[in-house]
Structure 1
Amino acid sequence: MKTVLVTGATAGIGEACARAFVRSGWRVIATGRRADRLEALVGELGADRVHPCVFDVRDEAARDAALAAVPAAFAGIDCLVNNAGLAAGTSLAQQARLDDWKTTIETNVTALVSLTHKLLPALIARKGLIVNLSSVAATYPYTGGNVYGGTKAFVRQFSLGLRSDLSGTGVRVTSIEPGMVETEFTFVRTGGDQEASDRLYAGVNPLTGADIAETVLWIASLPPHMNINAIEIMPVNQSFAGFQVARNG
């Protein structure tokens, strides 16, 4: 039985990934900050299939302590799903809070890189898979996206760089780049404004966490000689905006 480690498994795509992988016969190491949600996941899916690791991905000491306590049955990690991420704030760059920018970078870039570096030896030994959750914001800028888009562009390029460096090791690397997915993303981004979140997704028929989880599972289930370098996914109702033009600006 294979084991996957999923970061940010307390909601949205990460939680859906945990369910999808267990349903497909995998063991899951589920990480996140909210212990109650991880325990609920264990209660739903079984302690023999899900091991909870409670830590903030930005806290390397807490992360290392939690991973050191992983039971032997879960110790061989075959797949890393770097899902944990966020956008803090929706302001224009010139109005943004520097702390929001730093929080976004520390979560989406620094923590992802740090965990990947820690697990690389084990993933190489097992000829495993790394799935990094990027975003269409890595390619298509939008007003207020500034640092968030920059971090996701980093994730995409880092994935390609890993793919190049890991040539010959048997390790596969994929960047998944979703468009609009209805999760807690906007609720968190707006500081807990549920109305703003509901407004964004109203009438759109957006992607769901389960949609992306099934894509991650499909990639993990491919033959070991096949690598999906990057995959961009959007709901049908979302497409590309035109260029903006400022008059007399």
Structure 2
Amino acid sequence: MVTAASQRPIPPDIVVRAPDCPNPAQAALLIDKPNGPTSHDVVHRVRRHFGGCKTGHAGTLDPLATGLLVLLLGRATKLQDAFMHLGKTYRGTLRLGATTPTYDREQPEDATYPWQHISDSDLKAATAQFKGTITQRPPMYSAVRVKGERLYKKARRGETAVRPPRHVTIDTFDILHREGRDVTFEVVCSKGTYIRSLADDLGRALDSGAYLTALRRTHIGSYAVDTAWSLDALLRTCPSPSTDSSS
């Protein structure tokens, strides 16, 4: 088990926020990931822009999710574990009364359930069940490997697999707003938490169904998305090595 005390410390001067441009030799770059691209897509675009420098990230966001993604450039890739072990904060919206195979809106609803019986107090009581250390199973549509193969590849073939449970910690699970079936919430949690699974489990706890319709990561530890670069602005503003050499 890796403890916080054993983590490599994060030097404050390598963390790059907008409007500062990163040094590709060593930077932890805060990016506000847009809806659509995968985390790997973002890594690929930034790596290519900065001349093929070594680039990784410190925690995946699903394609439909937006928000804070920490990209690690050059020597900063050695700090991946330190960033990965920081807590995460998410704001999202779930829809009651239905489920989807992916636990989010990426695929159409595959089953519907009554939801009108769910009161605001029912919601509050149900979320309380998920606070603390809980056992969670990843969605079938996820990048978790089982017997050497990504689960999503099995799911696309219509197969199922025994998904290994994992222990995650939910520090807070607060309901912020409700409008009919749609519930806006905030979660502060440990690394490795699947918010899609949390939504699905909450629906079951309410004798109904639920799936994510929106998700945004607002914080990783003390690092906030409000200070991050948008991907397009970064690529438009910060020069690439080829630009530097031609000027």
TM norm. shorter chain > 0.5? no
Larger Rg: 2
TM-score (norm 2): 0.27
Higher share in strand: 2
Using CA pairs under 8 Å that are at least 6 residues apart, name the structure with larger relative contact order, 1 or 2. Answer: 2
